[in-house]
Structure 1
Amino acid sequence: MKKKVSIFLIAALLVSGLSFFYLQNTATKVAAEVGTEIGMQAPGFSLVNMNNQEVSLSDYRGKKVFLNFWASWCPPCREEMPDMQKLHEEYGNEIAVLAVNIGESKSTVANFMMQNKLNLPVLLDLNKSIAQNYLVRAIPTTYILDKDGIIIEKTFGALSYQSMLDLGGIEK
Protein backbone atom coordinates (compact mmCIF):
# COMPACT_ATOMS: atom_id res chain seq x y z
CA MET A 1 0.00 0.00 0.00
CA LYS A 2 2.85 2.40 0.90
CA LYS A 3 4.47 1.67 -2.47
CA LYS A 4 1.26 2.68 -4.34
CA VAL A 5 0.97 5.91 -2.32
CA SER A 6 4.63 6.73 -2.97
CA ILE A 7 4.26 6.14 -6.71
CA PHE A 8 1.11 8.26 -6.72
CA LEU A 9 2.86 11.11 -4.87
CA ILE A 10 5.86 11.00 -7.18
CA ALA A 11 3.57 11.02 -10.24
CA ALA A 12 1.54 13.92 -8.82
CA LEU A 13 4.68 15.95 -8.09
CA LEU A 14 6.06 15.24 -11.55
CA VAL A 15 2.83 16.31 -13.27
CA SER A 16 2.52 19.50 -11.19
CA GLY A 17 6.20 20.35 -11.76
CA LEU A 18 5.87 19.89 -15.51
CA SER A 19 2.66 21.92 -15.54
CA PHE A 20 4.34 24.77 -13.66
CA PHE A 21 7.30 24.74 -16.09
CA TYR A 22 4.96 24.73 -19.10
CA LEU A 23 2.88 27.62 -17.77
CA GLN A 24 5.97 29.70 -16.93
CA ASN A 25 7.47 29.06 -20.36
CA THR A 26 4.19 29.84 -22.16
CA ALA A 27 3.71 33.08 -20.23
CA THR A 28 7.11 34.39 -21.29
CA LYS A 29 6.34 33.68 -24.93
CA VAL A 30 2.99 35.47 -24.80
CA ALA A 31 4.08 38.76 -23.22
CA ALA A 32 7.55 40.13 -23.94
CA GLU A 33 9.10 42.53 -21.48
CA VAL A 34 8.63 46.20 -22.44
CA GLY A 35 11.90 47.94 -23.27
CA THR A 36 14.11 49.34 -25.99
CA GLU A 37 16.31 46.36 -26.82
CA ILE A 38 15.89 43.83 -29.61
CA GLY A 39 13.38 41.15 -28.56
CA MET A 40 11.48 43.46 -26.23
CA GLN A 41 7.98 44.89 -26.63
CA ALA A 42 8.35 48.49 -27.85
CA PRO A 43 7.06 51.05 -25.34
CA GLY A 44 3.59 52.28 -26.26
CA PHE A 45 2.90 55.95 -26.93
CA SER A 46 0.43 58.43 -28.38
CA LEU A 47 1.48 61.55 -30.25
CA VAL A 48 -0.18 64.14 -32.45
CA ASN A 49 0.44 64.02 -36.21
CA MET A 50 0.67 66.95 -38.61
CA ASN A 51 -3.15 66.99 -38.92
CA ASN A 52 -3.56 67.38 -35.14
CA GLN A 53 -4.86 63.81 -34.84
CA GLU A 54 -3.70 61.61 -31.98
CA VAL A 55 -1.87 58.53 -33.21
CA SER A 56 -0.92 55.59 -31.00
CA LEU A 57 1.74 53.02 -31.71
CA SER A 58 -0.89 50.37 -30.94
CA ASP A 59 -2.84 51.60 -34.00
CA TYR A 60 -0.23 49.75 -36.08
CA ARG A 61 -0.48 46.38 -34.35
CA GLY A 62 -0.59 43.70 -37.03
CA LYS A 63 1.83 45.61 -39.28
CA LYS A 64 5.59 46.04 -39.30
CA VAL A 65 6.69 49.52 -38.22
CA PHE A 66 9.71 51.61 -39.27
CA LEU A 67 9.96 53.99 -36.29
CA ASN A 68 12.44 56.81 -36.90
CA PHE A 69 13.42 59.61 -34.50
CA TRP A 70 14.68 62.75 -36.23
CA ALA A 71 14.91 66.56 -36.34
CA SER A 72 15.03 68.96 -39.29
CA TRP A 73 18.31 70.57 -38.13
CA CYS A 74 20.11 67.19 -38.22
CA PRO A 75 22.13 66.68 -41.46
CA PRO A 76 22.00 62.82 -41.41
CA CYS A 77 18.25 63.00 -40.73
CA ARG A 78 17.74 65.30 -43.72
CA GLU A 79 19.90 62.96 -45.82
CA GLU A 80 17.74 59.88 -45.17
CA MET A 81 14.30 61.56 -45.45
CA PRO A 82 13.96 61.12 -49.26
CA ASP A 83 14.63 57.39 -48.82
CA MET A 84 12.09 57.20 -46.01
CA GLN A 85 9.60 58.91 -48.32
CA LYS A 86 10.36 56.33 -51.01
CA LEU A 87 9.94 53.49 -48.49
CA HIS A 88 6.58 54.96 -47.45
CA GLU A 89 5.41 55.31 -51.07
CA GLU A 90 6.58 51.93 -52.33
CA TYR A 91 6.09 49.69 -49.27
CA GLY A 92 3.62 51.58 -47.08
CA ASN A 93 1.19 48.65 -47.27
CA GLU A 94 3.89 46.30 -45.98
CA ILE A 95 5.59 48.50 -43.37
CA ALA A 96 4.27 51.61 -41.63
CA VAL A 97 6.77 54.46 -41.69
CA LEU A 98 6.51 56.72 -38.64
CA ALA A 99 8.87 59.69 -38.45
CA VAL A 100 8.89 61.01 -34.88
CA ASN A 101 10.16 64.58 -34.84
CA ILE A 102 11.89 65.45 -31.60
CA GLY A 103 11.18 68.82 -30.00
CA GLU A 104 10.42 71.03 -32.99
CA SER A 105 7.28 73.09 -33.53
CA LYS A 106 4.62 72.01 -35.97
CA SER A 107 5.35 75.03 -38.20
CA THR A 108 9.08 74.20 -38.35
CA VAL A 109 8.32 70.61 -39.30
CA ALA A 110 5.64 71.66 -41.82
CA ASN A 111 8.08 74.05 -43.53
CA PHE A 112 10.75 71.37 -43.72
CA MET A 113 8.29 68.84 -45.15
CA MET A 114 6.98 71.31 -47.73
CA GLN A 115 10.45 72.48 -48.82
CA ASN A 116 11.54 68.87 -49.30
CA LYS A 117 8.29 67.67 -50.90
CA LEU A 118 7.75 65.03 -48.21
CA ASN A 119 4.40 63.64 -47.08
CA LEU A 120 5.29 60.61 -44.99
CA PRO A 121 3.58 60.30 -41.58
CA VAL A 122 5.20 62.60 -39.00
CA LEU A 123 4.44 62.53 -35.29
CA LEU A 124 5.38 65.44 -33.04
CA ASP A 125 7.25 64.65 -29.82
CA LEU A 126 7.17 68.27 -28.65
CA ASN A 127 8.37 67.64 -25.09
CA LYS A 128 10.83 64.89 -26.15
CA SER A 129 9.25 62.41 -23.73
CA ILE A 130 8.88 59.59 -26.26
CA ALA A 131 12.48 60.01 -27.41
CA GLN A 132 13.49 59.78 -23.75
CA ASN A 133 11.38 56.62 -23.28
CA TYR A 134 13.15 55.08 -26.28
CA LEU A 135 16.54 56.15 -24.90
CA VAL A 136 17.34 58.14 -28.05
CA ARG A 137 20.84 59.56 -27.56
CA ALA A 138 21.73 60.29 -31.19
CA ILE A 139 19.62 61.04 -34.22
CA PRO A 140 18.53 59.60 -36.45
CA THR A 141 17.67 56.50 -34.45
CA THR A 142 15.48 53.85 -36.04
CA TYR A 143 13.60 50.93 -34.53
CA ILE A 144 11.99 48.20 -36.66
CA LEU A 145 9.02 46.53 -34.97
CA ASP A 146 7.40 43.29 -36.02
CA LYS A 147 3.64 42.86 -36.38
CA ASP A 148 3.33 42.25 -32.62
CA GLY A 149 5.25 45.39 -31.66
CA ILE A 150 8.43 43.51 -30.77
CA ILE A 151 11.69 45.31 -31.60
CA ILE A 152 13.51 43.29 -34.26
CA GLU A 153 16.13 45.88 -35.25
CA LYS A 154 17.60 49.05 -33.79
CA THR A 155 20.09 51.30 -35.54
CA PHE A 156 21.73 54.70 -35.21
CA GLY A 157 22.64 57.05 -38.05
CA ALA A 158 21.30 57.67 -41.52
CA LEU A 159 20.12 54.67 -43.50
CA SER A 160 20.19 54.15 -47.24
CA TYR A 161 17.06 52.98 -49.01
CA GLN A 162 18.55 49.48 -49.40
CA SER A 163 19.41 49.38 -45.68
CA MET A 164 15.81 50.32 -44.88
CA LEU A 165 14.57 47.44 -47.01
CA ASP A 166 17.07 45.02 -45.49
CA LEU A 167 16.34 46.00 -41.89
CA GLY A 168 12.61 45.85 -42.52
CA GLY A 169 12.89 42.39 -44.07
CA ILE A 170 11.39 43.67 -47.32
CA GLU A 171 12.18 41.88 -50.56
CA LYS A 172 12.07 43.78 -53.83
Structure 2
Amino acid sequence: MSGIWLISYLSLWIIVIVLFLVVLTLARQVGLLHGRLRPTGALMANAGPEVGEQAPEINATDLHGQEVSLGSNRGKKTLLVFVSATCRSCDDLVPAVRSIWKSERAALDLLLVGLSGDEIANREFIARHKLGNIPYVLSRSLGLAYRVTSPPYSVLIDEQGVVRAKGVVNHIEHLESLLNAAELGHSSVESFFQAQYDNQSTIATDTT
Protein backbone atom coordinates (compact mmCIF):
# COMPACT_ATOMS: atom_id res chain seq x y z
CA MET A 1 0.00 0.00 0.00
CA SER A 2 2.87 2.31 0.88
CA GLY A 3 4.33 1.67 -2.56
CA ILE A 4 1.11 2.84 -4.24
CA TRP A 5 1.08 6.05 -2.15
CA LEU A 6 4.71 6.70 -3.05
CA ILE A 7 3.98 6.31 -6.75
CA SER A 8 0.96 8.63 -6.47
CA TYR A 9 3.03 11.18 -4.57
CA LEU A 10 5.79 11.15 -7.18
CA SER A 11 3.23 11.33 -10.01
CA LEU A 12 1.67 14.44 -8.48
CA TRP A 13 5.05 16.13 -8.24
CA ILE A 14 5.81 15.26 -11.86
CA ILE A 15 2.48 16.82 -12.89
CA VAL A 16 3.25 19.95 -10.85
CA ILE A 17 6.68 20.29 -12.46
CA VAL A 18 5.24 19.83 -15.96
CA LEU A 19 2.55 22.45 -15.30
CA PHE A 20 5.18 24.85 -13.97
CA LEU A 21 7.25 24.43 -17.13
CA VAL A 22 4.17 24.97 -19.31
CA VAL A 23 3.28 28.19 -17.46
CA LEU A 24 6.89 29.38 -17.69
CA THR A 25 6.92 28.73 -21.44
CA LEU A 26 3.61 30.55 -21.93
CA ALA A 27 4.85 33.53 -19.91
CA ARG A 28 7.96 33.71 -22.07
CA GLN A 29 5.89 33.59 -25.26
CA VAL A 30 3.61 36.35 -23.98
CA GLY A 31 6.68 38.46 -23.22
CA LEU A 32 8.06 37.92 -26.72
CA LEU A 33 4.70 38.76 -28.28
CA HIS A 34 4.44 41.93 -26.20
CA GLY A 35 7.90 42.98 -27.33
CA ARG A 36 7.00 42.51 -30.99
CA LEU A 37 3.80 44.51 -30.82
CA ARG A 38 4.29 48.22 -31.33
CA PRO A 39 2.71 50.56 -28.75
CA THR A 40 -0.81 51.77 -29.39
CA GLY A 41 -1.30 55.50 -29.11
CA ALA A 42 -4.22 57.83 -29.55
CA LEU A 43 -6.32 56.84 -32.56
CA MET A 44 -7.71 59.53 -34.84
CA ALA A 45 -11.40 58.78 -35.32
CA ASN A 46 -13.40 61.89 -36.13
CA ALA A 47 -14.12 64.23 -39.04
CA GLY A 48 -13.31 67.49 -37.28
CA PRO A 49 -10.65 70.03 -38.32
CA GLU A 50 -7.81 68.16 -40.00
CA VAL A 51 -4.25 68.18 -38.72
CA GLY A 52 -2.57 71.22 -40.26
CA GLU A 53 -5.77 73.25 -40.43
CA GLN A 54 -6.49 76.34 -38.36
CA ALA A 55 -8.50 75.54 -35.25
CA PRO A 56 -11.92 77.23 -35.00
CA GLU A 57 -11.70 80.56 -33.17
CA ILE A 58 -13.89 80.35 -30.10
CA ASN A 59 -14.22 82.54 -27.02
CA ALA A 60 -15.99 81.26 -23.91
CA THR A 61 -16.21 81.58 -20.14
CA ASP A 62 -15.25 78.51 -18.15
CA LEU A 63 -17.02 77.27 -15.03
CA HIS A 64 -14.46 79.10 -12.88
CA GLY A 65 -15.50 82.42 -14.45
CA GLN A 66 -12.31 82.80 -16.53
CA GLU A 67 -12.30 83.84 -20.20
CA VAL A 68 -10.75 81.31 -22.57
CA SER A 69 -10.00 81.60 -26.29
CA LEU A 70 -8.99 79.09 -28.95
CA GLY A 71 -7.76 79.14 -32.52
CA SER A 72 -5.76 82.37 -32.39
CA ASN A 73 -2.03 83.02 -32.11
CA ARG A 74 -1.56 82.41 -28.38
CA GLY A 75 2.17 81.73 -28.24
CA LYS A 76 1.46 78.55 -26.27
CA LYS A 77 0.21 75.07 -27.12
CA THR A 78 -3.30 74.09 -26.03
CA LEU A 79 -4.52 70.58 -25.28
CA LEU A 80 -8.30 70.19 -25.52
CA VAL A 81 -9.74 67.21 -23.67
CA PHE A 82 -13.41 66.51 -24.42
CA VAL A 83 -15.19 64.71 -21.58
CA SER A 84 -18.67 63.92 -20.28
CA ALA A 85 -19.87 64.03 -16.69
CA THR A 86 -21.57 60.65 -17.22
CA CYS A 87 -18.74 58.91 -19.09
CA ARG A 88 -17.02 56.00 -17.29
CA SER A 89 -13.93 56.25 -19.50
CA CYS A 90 -13.73 59.96 -18.69
CA ASP A 91 -13.68 59.11 -14.98
CA ASP A 92 -10.74 56.79 -15.63
CA LEU A 93 -8.92 59.46 -17.66
CA VAL A 94 -9.07 62.21 -15.03
CA PRO A 95 -5.91 61.17 -13.09
CA ALA A 96 -3.98 61.38 -16.36
CA VAL A 97 -5.40 64.85 -17.02
CA ARG A 98 -4.31 66.03 -13.58
CA SER A 99 -0.83 64.59 -14.16
CA ILE A 100 -0.45 66.37 -17.52
CA TRP A 101 -1.73 69.60 -15.96
CA LYS A 102 0.88 69.46 -13.18
CA SER A 103 3.84 68.45 -15.35
CA GLU A 104 3.21 70.42 -18.56
CA ARG A 105 1.33 73.58 -17.55
CA ALA A 106 4.39 75.82 -17.91
CA ALA A 107 4.49 75.12 -21.66
CA LEU A 108 0.96 73.91 -22.31
CA ASP A 109 -2.55 75.23 -21.72
CA LEU A 110 -5.07 72.53 -20.92
CA LEU A 111 -8.81 72.93 -21.41
CA LEU A 112 -11.45 70.40 -20.41
CA VAL A 113 -14.62 70.57 -22.49
CA GLY A 114 -17.81 69.07 -21.07
CA LEU A 115 -20.09 67.79 -23.83
CA SER A 116 -23.12 66.62 -21.85
CA GLY A 117 -25.05 67.22 -18.67
CA ASP A 118 -26.09 70.50 -17.10
CA GLU A 119 -23.90 72.90 -15.14
CA ILE A 120 -24.67 71.21 -11.82
CA ALA A 121 -23.62 67.78 -13.12
CA ASN A 122 -20.39 69.18 -14.54
CA ARG A 123 -19.57 71.07 -11.35
CA GLU A 124 -20.10 67.82 -9.44
CA PHE A 125 -17.73 66.13 -11.92
CA ILE A 126 -15.11 68.81 -11.21
CA ALA A 127 -15.54 68.47 -7.44
CA ARG A 128 -15.61 64.66 -7.46
CA HIS A 129 -12.34 64.44 -9.36
CA LYS A 130 -10.66 67.36 -7.57
CA LEU A 131 -9.91 69.18 -10.81
CA GLY A 132 -9.26 72.41 -8.95
CA ASN A 133 -8.58 75.37 -11.23
CA ILE A 134 -8.08 73.39 -14.44
CA PRO A 135 -10.06 75.38 -17.06
CA TYR A 136 -13.37 73.62 -17.72
CA VAL A 137 -15.90 74.75 -20.32
CA LEU A 138 -19.39 73.32 -20.72
CA SER A 139 -19.88 73.71 -24.46
CA ARG A 140 -21.75 71.46 -26.87
CA SER A 141 -21.00 74.00 -29.62
CA LEU A 142 -17.28 73.39 -29.14
CA GLY A 143 -17.91 69.68 -29.55
CA LEU A 144 -19.81 70.41 -32.77
CA ALA A 145 -17.01 72.65 -34.04
CA TYR A 146 -14.50 69.82 -33.59
CA ARG A 147 -17.00 67.10 -34.62
CA VAL A 148 -16.48 65.25 -31.34
CA THR A 149 -19.41 63.03 -30.38
CA SER A 150 -17.79 60.29 -28.26
CA PRO A 151 -15.56 61.42 -25.40
CA PRO A 152 -12.93 61.12 -24.16
CA TYR A 153 -11.21 62.76 -27.13
CA SER A 154 -8.30 65.17 -27.33
CA VAL A 155 -6.99 67.77 -29.78
CA LEU A 156 -3.57 69.43 -29.62
CA ILE A 157 -3.35 72.98 -30.99
CA ASP A 158 0.02 74.65 -31.52
CA GLU A 159 1.15 78.17 -30.66
CA GLN A 160 -0.25 79.58 -33.92
CA GLY A 161 -3.69 78.02 -33.42
CA VAL A 162 -3.13 75.14 -35.85
CA VAL A 163 -4.33 71.60 -35.11
CA ARG A 164 -1.24 69.39 -34.74
CA ALA A 165 -2.59 66.10 -33.38
CA LYS A 166 -5.86 64.56 -32.28
CA GLY A 167 -7.29 61.25 -31.17
CA VAL A 168 -9.29 59.11 -28.79
CA VAL A 169 -7.73 59.15 -25.32
CA ASN A 170 -8.43 56.62 -22.58
CA HIS A 171 -5.32 56.87 -20.40
CA ILE A 172 -2.13 58.87 -19.89
CA GLU A 173 -0.22 56.98 -22.60
CA HIS A 174 -2.72 58.23 -25.17
CA LEU A 175 -2.36 61.84 -24.00
CA GLU A 176 1.43 61.58 -23.99
CA SER A 177 1.39 60.00 -27.46
CA LEU A 178 -0.35 63.09 -28.83
CA LEU A 179 2.24 65.39 -27.29
CA ASN A 180 5.24 63.26 -28.32
CA ALA A 181 4.04 62.53 -31.85
CA ALA A 182 3.34 66.21 -32.48
CA GLU A 183 6.83 67.16 -31.30
CA LEU A 184 8.25 64.70 -33.84
CA GLY A 185 6.10 66.11 -36.64
CA HIS A 186 3.41 63.42 -36.70
CA SER A 187 -0.34 63.76 -36.28
CA SER A 188 -0.57 60.66 -34.09
CA VAL A 189 1.65 57.95 -32.68
CA GLU A 190 0.36 55.61 -35.41
CA SER A 191 1.81 57.82 -38.15
CA PHE A 192 5.10 58.00 -36.23
CA PHE A 193 5.46 54.22 -36.03
CA GLN A 194 4.30 53.84 -39.63
CA ALA A 195 7.07 56.22 -40.71
CA GLN A 196 9.58 54.17 -38.71
CA TYR A 197 8.29 50.96 -40.29
CA ASP A 198 8.48 52.44 -43.80
CA ASN A 199 12.01 53.68 -43.12
CA GLN A 200 13.15 50.26 -41.89
CA SER A 201 11.53 48.59 -44.91
CA THR A 202 13.39 50.99 -47.22
CA ILE A 203 16.70 50.26 -45.50
CA ALA A 204 16.08 46.50 -45.71
CA THR A 205 15.26 46.80 -49.42
CA ASP A 206 18.39 48.87 -50.12
CA THR A 207 20.65 46.33 -48.40
CA THR A 208 19.29 43.35 -50.35
TM-score, normalisation: structure 1: 0.70
Picking from 117, 137, 148, the partner of 1:123 is 137
Q: Which amino acid aligns with 2:154?
A: T
Match of 2:122 in 1: 109
Give the whole-Å Cα distance in 2 for the aligned partners of 1:81 and 1:72.
11
| 1:34-91 deviation per Cα after TM superposition (whole angstroms, max 9, x unaligned) | x711110111112221123332115771111111111110111111111101111111
1:168 partner SS: helix
Give the whole-Å Cα distance in 1 for the aligned partners of 2:176 and 2:151.
19
Give the whole-Å Cα distance in 2 for the aligned partners of 1:146 and 1:135.
19
Task: Give the structure with the larger strand fraction.
Answer: 1
1:19-168 to structure 2, matched below 5 A, reads 36-58=49-71, 61-119=74-132, 120-125=134-139, 128-158=140-170, 160-168=171-179
* Structure 1 residue 165 displacement after superposition: 2.4
Q: Is the 8 A contact 1:139 1:156 kept in 2?
A: yes
* Structure 1 residue 99 displacement after superposition: 0.4
Report the aligned-residue RMSD: 2.1
Structure 2 unmatched runs, 5+ = 1-47, 184-208
Give the whole-Å Cα distance in 2 for the aligned partners of 1:79 and 1:37.
27
Q: Is the 8 A contact 1:60 1:96 kept in 2?
A: no
Cα distance, 1:60–1:164 mapped onto 2, change above 3 Å: farther
Give aligned-pair identity as a percent: 27
Cα distance, 1:48–1:131 mapped onto 2, change above 3 Å: same
Q: Is the 8 A contact 1:144 1:153 kept in 2?
A: yes
1:62 partner SS: coil
TM-score, normalisation: structure 2: 0.59
- The number of residues matched between the two structures is 134
Question: Which one has a bigger Cα radius of gyration?
Answer: 2
* Structure 1 residue 103 displacement after superposition: 3.3
Structure 1 unmatched runs, 5+ = 1-34
Q: Is the 8 A contact 1:64 1:145 kept in 2?
A: yes
Cα distance, 1:155–1:40 mapped onto 2, change above 3 Å: same
1:78 partner SS: helix
